Amino acid sequence: MGTAEKDETARWYVLSANYRNEVKIRDDLRRLGFNCYLPMRYELKERRGTKRRLLVPAINGMVFVKNIKSAIEEYLVTTKLPAYFRMSGISGQKKPIVVPDRDMENFMRVTQQVEENLTYFQPDEIKLRVGDKIRVHGGIFDGVEGVLMRVPGKRSRQLVVSIPEISAVAVSLSPEVVELVDQPVMKSADIDGDLKSLSELAFRKLFAAPDRISQENEYNILVHELRRTLQRVQPFKGYTAQREAELALAVFMATKALDVDDQQAAERLKAAIGSLKDTSILRLRLQLYYAALIPDAALKAVIGEKLNGWMKAPLSAQQRRFKEEWNQVFGQPPQP
């Protein structure tokens, strides 16, 4: 019988530790010459009626250690401290979790900044696949790679660095130090969400005040996100006239926002307009953006006359929303 070959490559492993023993295990490992890491953060603790700011483990019951597997196994057998490998079941077999060096480096670079306002998440608390991969240039996080995304409870977008199955940490970041890392774009797996996002991104790029975008330093990020969302949505065709109209409108707006001369998108929008009833508010919306972005002064005048004709009767909720949309696009009500 053959013997299993020993893995003599030093890797980052995750050890589980009983609560309140993380620091003891870290110190014990360091005493024995192991390379280990325990993320810490400040917390206010009250002792004997006095509040003190103390460093405590940021992730309960977990210590990271780098060495060959056999050396760590020997430590776990001989130590009197409660520690054992954290196991992964993703592949169907229980194996010690191994963290790639690059993931660990990114995680340590962020979590070592204990004075920063860091937010830790469990893996199932945040959808890490949603967002753009970024690399940071400059500042304390220079060289860190992660995902730029909106996270629960945060108003601004955050840099999120994660270790699968273990933890994720988020921190606010100045957009001017962000470089977006191109990744292959797949056909949308969430067409409803991407369609809504594409329309909102295109509208903001086309009609939001340029100085506001500039002040937020988000212009390049906005354009990149718009381009990638368009690539995910563009292959889809509508299975009903209404669905095709929604897709055609979003794609048309996005191409105009990106300053792409896409005659096919304009023709698709015109065909979608022709497939809808004259009384349809959706048809009016398509005509509105066609008139604004082609531009078409005659069509704008026709739509304006229709809006003015509505004034003779109370407006429906859809008519009120369309009137507000007209004002946002053209900046003023239609002239009688």
Shortest CA distance to 289 belongs to which of 280, 279, 299? 299
pLDDT in the model for residue 2? 39
Token pair of 135, please? 């690399």
Shortest CA distance to 179 belongs to which of 227, 221, 151, 128? 221
pLDDT of 234 > 80? The answer is yes
Please, are residues 185 and 232 in contact by the beta-carbon 8 Å criterion?
yes
pLDDT of 96 > 80? The answer is yes
**One-letter amino acid of 281:** I
Cα-only R_g, the chain: 28
Check residues 301 and 143 and name the one with the higher pLDDT: 301
Shortest CA distance to 23 belongs to which of 70, 71, 56, 72? 56
pLDDT in the model for residue 3? 41
Q: How far is CA 146 from the centre of its chain?
A: 10
The helix or strand, by DSSP H or E, that contains position 261, with its residue range, turns out to be: none
pTM, full prediction: 0.55
